Amino acid sequence: MKNQYVHGYNEFETTRLNDQASTLNSILHHDSIYRRYSKVLEIGCGVGAQTEILCRNNPDIRLTSIDISAESIKIAEKRCHNLGIGNVEFIQADIFNLPFDKNSFDHVFICFVLEHLTDPVKALLNIKPILKSSGSLTVIEGDHGSAYFHPDSKYAQATIDCLVKLQAMKGGNSLIGRTLYPLLRKTGFSNISVSPRMIYADAGRPEMVDGFTKKTFIAMVEGIKNDAIKEKFIDEKTWKRGISELKESSKDTGTFCYTFFKAVAYK
């Protein structure tokens, strides 16, 4: 599984996940608020970037955070320990083989994970039994087809298309955001509500340009350069031109837009 994760496990990706989480905090999480003392499971916690936010926003929940990567779990655990966050326990586990009893959790939270899975339907079906009968689920995913920018550039778009193709080749779907409603319907969840969370960055919002356009999105695309060239999706010269033109969107004369999708549904 580890090789299938398109962004890899390294310091660069750890920093990117942290930048992403802190920049998007208020947009994605102003409503990630759970009942006092409720039992919440976070699946695919990675290095704990969303875990920290969940715990800070909900100091009275009992959170269990899991990830398939033992290395990421170790980093997440250390991070929360250093921050004095005490209401979370970490377990290495696979979403396709969850080590929990039926009806264990009031809420399950999953963020930027389904897009990497070969079988998101099976993953969602696996979550249902461990939710209590009144339990609910939050799923947050991006959709790389929602990226558009100024100045427009077919070379910049070609670098993004490489990421979409590479993720598909590894069995994932980076266009999954738009499919959350049908996915949740198909897997029998009820009262589904999906809200698009649009990101817009221009020079008047320097924190979004730095935190999102540069350090989250362009960093993510740049991270797959070697794989994209190795798979012959693009040649090096076109890649360089594409990245350079994508970077124009983060300059004072540029703009960048992207949409995340947040779904909440019930068992």
Ligand X SMILES: C[S@@+](CC[C@H](N)C(=O)[O-])C[C@H]1O[C@@H](n2cnc3c(N)ncnc32)[C@H](O)[C@@H]1O
Contact between 224 and ligand X per CB under 6 A? no
Of 76 and 201, which CB lies nearer to ligand X in the complex structure?
76
- Looking at 111, 127, 218, 220, which residue binds ligand X (CB under 6 A)? 111
Total chain residues near ligand X (CB under 6 A):
22
DSSP β-ladder status, 39-43 and 62-67: parallel
**Binding ligand X by CB under 6 A: which of 14, 21, 176, 212?**
21
The reply on whether position 50 binds ligand X by CB under 6 A is yes
Shortest Cβ distance from residue 243 to ligand X (Å)? 21
Is 234:160 a contact under the CB 8 Å cutoff?
no
239 is a contact residue toward ligand X (CB under 6 A) = no
DSSP state of 233: S
- The stretch among 23-31, 63-71, 148-156, 212-220 that binds ligand X (CB under 6 A) is 63-71
Structure tokens at 158: 């070609």
Give least dist CB 67 to ligand X, A. Answer: 5
Number of Cβ atoms within 10 Å of the Cβ of 240: 14
Does 112 engage in binding with ligand X (CB under 6 A)?
Answer: yes
Nearer to ligand X, 13 or 106 (CB): 13
Q: Which is nearer to ligand X, 223 or 254 (CB)?
A: 223
With CB under 6 A as the contact rule, which of the stretches 40-48, 126-134, 165-173, 237-245 interacts with ligand X?
A: 40-48
By CB under 6 A, is residue 113 in contact with ligand X?
yes
The answer to whether the beta carbons of residues 227 and 168 sit under 8 Å apart is no
Determine if 125 is a binding residue for ligand X (CB under 6 A).
no
> Which of 65-73, 126-134, 150-158, 161-169 is the region at the interface with ligand X (rule: CB under 6 A)?
65-73
Task: Find residue 93's DSSP bridge partners.
Answer: none
Contact between 72 and ligand X by CB under 6 A: the answer reads: yes
Q: Is 203 in the site for ligand X (CB under 6 A)?
A: no
Task: Note whether 184 binds ligand X by CB under 6 A.
Answer: no
Among 5, 212, 233, 256, indicate the residue that binds ligand X (CB under 6 A): 5
Residue 201 as a binder of ligand X (CB under 6 A): the answer is no
Contacts of 73 (CB under 8 A, 6+ apart): 45, 65, 66, 67, 90, 91, 92
Q: With contact defined as beta carbons under 8 Å apart, do 30 and 142 qualify?
A: no
**Measured CA angle at 72 (ends 69, 78), to 5 deg:** 140
CA dist., res. 34 & res. 61, Å (int): 7
Residues contributing to the site for ligand X (CB under 6 A): 1, 5, 17, 21, 43-46, 49-50, 67-69, 72, 94-96, 111-113, 116-117
